[in-house]
């Protein structure tokens, strides 16, 4: 019986630690988010097909990098971004893009709910 209590306490500590690690970092953004593009989207020099993506915010030296990885695929696209502080935490996700004359969508900004900064490309 005592072993179950110790095991349960250990599992609670692990879960709380995981939640703390998955939260915001010191820059006010989550390290990992998800985004869905309903149409092909130009991100930097690459065109991403419509679909669901896992997006990771990473650092390479002093540069902010967004890594887009399509769900169920190993293909990645890395793009530099700039973090711009928001007045308050975002209450919803936003995908802001420019529509070019040839109907090409070019990603301009990403905002993820709960973050206190937006990603500008």
User: Would you say residue 87 lies in a domain?
Assistant: yes
Q: Is 12 a domain residue?
A: no
CA–CA distances in Å: residue 8 to residues 5, 22, 78, 79 = 5, 21, 40, 42
* pLDDT tens for each residue of 78-118: 999 999 999 999 999 999 999 999 999 999 999 999 999 99
Q: pTM of the full predicted structure?
A: 0.76
Is pLDDT of 20 > 70?
no
The answer to whether residue 70 sits within a structural domain is yes
Domain count, the chain: 1
90 domain residue, yes or no: yes
- Contact criterion met (CB below 8 Å) for 111 and 54: no
Q: Could you say which DSSP state residue 97 is in?
A: E
| Residue 13 forms part of a structural domain | no
| More confident site: 77 or 14 | 77
- Supply the range of the domain harboring residue 80: 27-120
Per-residue pLDDT at 69 exceeds 90: yes
In a domain, 1, yes or no: no
* Neighbour-count burial of 114, counting CB atoms closer than 10 A to its CB (0-12 exposed, 13-18 middle, 19+ buried): middle
For residue 40, being part of any structural domain is answered with yes
């Amino acid at each position: 019986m005592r072993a179950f209590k110790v095991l349960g306490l250990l599992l609670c500590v692990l879960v709380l630690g995981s939640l703390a690690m998955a939260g915001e970092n010191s820059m006010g953004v989550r390290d990992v988010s998800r985004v869905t593009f309903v149409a092909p989207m130009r991100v930097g020099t690459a065109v991403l097909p419509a679909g669901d993506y896992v997006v990771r915010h990473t650092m390479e030296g002093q540069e902010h990098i967004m890594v887009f990885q399509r769900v169920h695929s190993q293909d990645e696209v890395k793009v530099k971004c700039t973090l711009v502080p928001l007045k308050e935490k975002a209450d919803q996700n936003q995908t802001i893009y420019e529509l070019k004359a040839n109907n090409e969508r070019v990603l301009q900004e990403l905002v993820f709910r709960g973050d206190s900064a937006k990603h500008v490309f």
